[in-house]
Structure 1
Amino acid sequence: MNNQQGRDPTLPLWRAAVLLRVLTLLFALGVIIYHLDEYRRPWLALVMGGVMTVWTVVVAVRYLKPTEKLLAFTVFDLAVCCAVMTSSLLVLTPLQLEGEPVPLVPTVWVTGVVAAGAVAAGPVAGGVFGGVVAAFNYGVRGYVDTDLTRDLMLLVGVGFVLGLAAASSRRSAARLETALRTEAATAERERLARSIHDSVLQVLAHVRRRGGELGGDAAELAKLAGEQEVALRALVSSAPASTEDGAADLGARLKILETERVSVSVPATPVPLPAAAANELASAVREALANVGKHAGVTAKAWVLLEDLGSDIVVSVRDDGVGIAPGRVAAAEREGRMGIARSLRGRVAELGGSVTLETAPGEGVEWELRVPRERSGAK
């Protein structure tokens, strides 16, 4: 079920529902014995007492091992309880049904099914179960008065409140499971990040610096090492959602892309977005930085700025490279080079955002990625 130990978080409520069923059974059997000589059909009252006893054992076994597919059984449980209530038409005399205050055969035993329905399916089901039991109470009695209406209010109210408690337990267990899973994943990522930083990233950084100093073929190796360094940093940062509601901090996703040639500025406070949206934006930024490495020049530097404008999230990627000639982007798309069209514009468009490009030969390139918070699913 929905907690870290594989148990239904509502198991204590199920135990309480079973205990209620047992206690109310004992009370109902006592009422039957007390009024046995007064009934129109005493033998049928005893049979109904046996039915209630057997059914209490059945539901106790079933409810103490709850599963997610329990609603159908609780509906059948409701049918059994209503059938036992209806048997009062044959057991009690007309005077006992309509005049003298003699309880129906199951008396308070039927409240157990209201608790079961509430725990199984939530507040609405609990209220409905209570309403059905009260409706049968009205029907068997054949009249409406203050006492029966009071029973209706109590049954519906108890069902609704127990349903709220069960739903709250399941939500709390789900949040706890998510938090524990995220905590474990974060700890493991941090361990891997430390290990990678102390080994692979340092080697790649050394190759990038040394290759740049040597020039020639070594410069090409330096460029490749730099690209792999950025990719590896991004891989380490591509974590599961960092909060219980499935959100991730876009600032953390971008900050990890910082290198000697790339400066990243993010707000001091987290910029939460749904994990999928944060990953897509981070991937778009990586594509823009990859274009800097490919086309801006070996000495070009880049700056990434993240702004949280409330209704919009804006990420700017600027470099001081050679710039792009007019019409070159459109020509690249016509030639089948889909890096900008698919990886950058396509990712942002899927989030309902837009991409703006400002460039000129010799004046560098600036990409502005703007995504509306509402369309991205953030709150």
Structure 2
Amino acid sequence: MIVRPAEDPTLPLWRAAVILRVLTLLFALGVIFNHREEYARPGLGFAMAGVMVAWTAAITYRYLRPTGRNLLAFSVVDLVVCCGVMTSSWWVLTSAQLHDPTVPLVPTVWVTGVVAAGAIRGGAVGGSVFGGVVAAFNYGVRGYVDTDLTRDLLLLVGIGFVLGLAATSLRRAAAALAEALRVEAATAERERLARSIHDSVLQVLARVRRRGAELGGEAEELAKLAGAQEVALRALVSSAPAASEDGMADLAARLKVLETDRVSVSAPATPVLVPAVMATELTAAVRETLTNVEKHAGDGAKAWVLLEDLGPEIVVSVRDDGVGIPAGRVAEAEREGRMGVAKSLTGRIADLGGTVSLETAPGEGTEWELRVNR
């Protein structure tokens, strides 16, 4: 399954914003033509009409290609142009027209399109700010405050806020869909590999395990090794793929791979996402602990790994039913130059800012507890 990157999820909104801009431009041109004989400076009014036509063509070209880092800067320039055209009403309209609420300013509703652009690009905050700026210029050019202008303020800010929320929701939904498609593709590939491994490697290991157990002697030891590898390989191909997003990894999936016939791993059913470096170091520390169980806990000793997700804290416990560790043996091993616990276990967790605690006694097994903050 091939996952291709999707286009900008807000592209339909940009197209709608361009259509709104074109329609409001046609309305503004009609208003200017209708009031041409009443204006104080009709020539300047027609010049502003030309500016609106040219700028609408520019924003149409740019907003239909909503990529690149300078889109926000372009939107701000768009806001400046719209406010400049509004301000030209001071010279185009007569004083009486400026104070007459029935006579629209030069751009009329054309300027509302920039609020849509600010909302799509900047979200709810951007849309609200753009709406507030346009409304402020509306107050300033008119030179007074009344109910109609205040209503325009609420509408501009409200529309910018709602449209901004919609744009942000679209982007989040698109990101979630892309992640779901990535996981689906990874799962499909994993299942394909699992089928291939099951039809070849796992069947061979299972046959070696059964035949070695029948023969006994050295072959029985080989059978045990084959059985352990069979369990580990089954855990590997059956565990969920480690989710990765913004450098995060699923610690539960990584620990599941360590499961064998002598090691049981318990973890939450949902992914336990932690920074990838933390997941790597914790997995290596647990692996070192399990290696010590295999070497020192005694024949037939079993181990249990428990992963707990406590929100701000991750706790991994490794317990075995082996012979235990005599008092002072860990410190003695460090003095003898055996640095397995000091470096591979304690050192790794300390580098993560976590702590390691040990509970053990001769004949009562061993329990390591690894705690790290997320």
**Range of TM-score over shorter length:** 0.7 to 0.9
Distance 1:223 1:345 in 2: 31
Of 272-281 and 221-230, more deviation after overlay is shown by 221-230
After superposition, where does 1:114-133 map in structure 2 within 5 Å? 114-133=115-134
User: 1:319 maps to what in 2?
Assistant: 320
Alignment of structure 1 residues 195-234 onto 2, 5 Å = 195-201=196-202, 203=204, 210=212, 213-215=216-218
Tell me, what secondary structure is at the counterpart of 1:300? coil
**In the alignment, residue 158 of structure 2 is paired with which amino acid?**
G
Give, in whole Å, the separation in 2 of the partners of 1:334 and 1:350: 21
Q: Hey, what's the Cα distance between the residues in 1 that align with 2:228 and 2:296? A: 13
Letter in 1 for 2:297: A
Deviation at 1:178, TM superposition (A): 0.8
What CA distance in whole angstroms lies between the structure 1 residues aligned with 2:324 and 2:201?
32
229, 239, 242: which is aligned to 1:240?
A: 242
Shift of 1:224: 7.6
2:16 matched residue in structure 1:
16
1:366 and 2:359 correspond: no
Written as runs of structure 1 = structure 2, the 5 A alignment for 1:334-353 is: 334-349=335-350, 353=354
Quick check: 1:178–1:244 contact (8 Å CA) kept in 2?
no
Q: Greater shift after overlay, 165-174 or 233-242? A: 233-242
3-state secondary structure, aligned to 2:264:
strand
RMSD: 3.5
User: Equivalent residue for 1:71?
Assistant: 72
Q: Which amino acid aligns with 2:269?
A: P
Amino acid at match of 2:243: A
> Structure 1 regions of 5+ residues with no counterpart?
none
Structure 1 match to 2:261:
260
1:40 positional shift:
0.9
| Aligned CA distance change for structure 1 residues 148 and 262 (closer, same or farther; 3 Å) | same
Distance 1:225 1:286, change over 3 A: farther
* CA deviation after TM superposition for structure 1 residue 89, in Å: 1.0
Which residue in 2 is equivalent to 1:187?
Answer: 188
The alpha carbon displacement at 1:298 in A equals: 4.2
Instruction: Tell me the amino acid that sits aligned with residue 51 of structure 1.
Output: V
The answer on whether the counterparts of 2:272 and 2:309 sit within 8 Å (CA) in structure 1 is no
Residues 55-64 or 313-322, more deviating: 313-322
C-alpha contact 1:304 1:316 (8 A) present in aligned 2: yes
User: What's the offset of the Cα at 1:368?
Assistant: 2.9
Q: Does 1:165 align with 2:163?
A: no
Task: Please say if 1:270 is aligned against 2:273.
Answer: no
The SS at the match of 2:9 is coil
Which residue of the partner structure matches residue 55 of structure 1?
A: 55
After superposition, give the CA deviation of every residue in 1:212-253 in whole Å (9 maximum; x if it has no partner): 95449x96x789878866876676558331899967472x54
TM-score w.r.t. length of structure 1: 0.83
Q: Helix, strand or coil for the counterpart of 1:46?
A: helix
Q: 1:75 to 1:242 in 2, by over 3 A?
A: closer
Read off the aligned partner of 2:90 and give its amino acid letter. Answer: L
- Report the equivalent of 2:46: 46
Deviates more, 1:226-235 or 1:93-102: 226-235
Shift of 1:330: 2.1
Q: Are residues 263 and 5 of structure 1, via their aligned partners in 2, closer, same or farther at CA, if it must alter by over 3 Å?
A: closer
1:289 aligned partner: 290
Identical positions, percent: 70
How far did residue 279 of structure 1 move?
5.4
Change (3 A) 1:26 1:203: same
- Determine the structure 2 residue equivalent to 1:91: 92
Q: Describe the shift of the 1:312–1:94 C-alpha distance in structure 2 as closer, same or farther (beyond 3 A).
A: closer
Q: How far off is 1:184 after superposition?
A: 1.3
CA drift at 1:87: 0.9
Q: Secondary structure at the match of 2:37?
A: helix
Change (3 A) 1:27 1:307: closer
SS of equivalent residue, structure 1 residue 185: helix
Q: Distance in 2 between matches of 1:281 and 1:214?
A: 37
TM-score normalised to structure 2 length = 0.84
Distance 1:286 1:26 in 2: 71
Inter-partner Cα distance in structure 1 for 2:117 and 2:111? 10
Aligned partner of 1:333 in structure 2 is 334
Give the secondary structure class of the aligned counterpart of 2:83. Answer: helix
Provide the rounded CA distance (Å) in 1 between the counterparts of 2:157 and 2:349: 50
For 2:269 and 2:99, the matched residues in 1 are separated by 68
Tell me, in whole angstroms, the C-alpha distance in 1 between the residues paired with 2:135 and 2:310.
54
